[in-house]
Amino acid sequence: MSTEIEKPEAKTPDAETPDAVTKDAVTKDEVVVEDAEGVDEDLEAADDEADDLDEAAPADKSATGVGQGAAAVVSAGLGIVALTGSWVGTIASARSSLVGQLETSSTASVAQQVEAVYGDSWHATALVGGAFALLALLVGAFVLARPAFGAPGRVVQAPWIKSVAWAGVALGVLGLLLAVAKYLDLFMGLPSTS
């Protein structure tokens, strides 16, 4: 029995083997360099796209309708103020009442005194309420008409903006009608003094 183990023959380096290894190494290095250059180009392209997005970002922010939404809320708020009254209306009414008291003589008839003291202050309140209603109507109409005057396809109103703007317009119209009715004494006119 022979106990010889066959050993694999050791390969002796040929003259071509180191060149082949070097050639393969150079080829791999070139592939790595080419891949790195491709990555650099991809990074530059991504940076360019990011710069383009940064430049387009302000236009996108304005297209979100923040200003239109705020104007719609202001319109609705002005409409509510027109219906419920305001500090400005109270001051105008008190001033008108004071002026009426100062200008009315003690010898004036009751009808003249009531008109000067109470009627003029009632009309001043109606004028201030009408001014708030008209402002609410105009701001709401502006918000609703705004997309028609913007860049085509850029300004898209959110549904809630339209809803709130329509509410402002409706409150403005209602407030304007009530103000006109109060001013013309069609709504809660002065009592008869006869």
Whether the pLDDT of residue 113 is over 70: the answer is yes
Please report which confidence band the pLDDT of residue 178 belongs to, taking 50, 70 and 90 as the band edges: very high
d(CA 117, CA 93): 10
Of 127, 131, 134, the C-alpha closest to 96 is 127
Q: Say if residue 9's pLDDT is above 90.
A: no
Find, among 65, 177, 66, the residue nearest to 129 by Cα.
177
Give the rounded percent of residues in the chain with a pLDDT score beyond 70.
61
Q: Residue 61: pLDDT band by 50, 70, 90 thresholds? A: very low
Selection from 90, 80, 94, 55 nearest residue 136 by Cα: 80
Q: What's the confidence (pLDDT) of residue 172?
A: 94
DSSP string for residues in 102-163: HHS-TTS-HHHHHIIIIIHHHHHHHHHHHHHHHHHHHHHHHHHHHHHHS-TTT----HHHHH
Reported pTM = 0.61
Q: How far apart are CA 38 and CA 47, in angstroms?
A: 14
Using the Cα atoms of residue 124, residue 125, residue 130 and residue 136 in order, give the sign of their dihedral: positive
Average pLDDT for 113-122 = 81
At 36-45, the pLDDT tens digits run: 555 566 666 6
Mean pLDDT of 69-75: 92
User: Does residue 182 register a pLDDT over 80?
Assistant: yes
Residue 179 pLDDT > 70, yes or no? yes
**Closest of 135, 124, 122 to residue 172, by C-alpha:** 135
| pLDDT of 3 over the 80 cut | no
Nearest one of 133, 141, 138, 143 to 172, comparing CA atoms: 133
State yes or no: pLDDT of 117 exceeds 70: yes
The mean per-residue pLDDT over the stretch 51-55 comes to 54
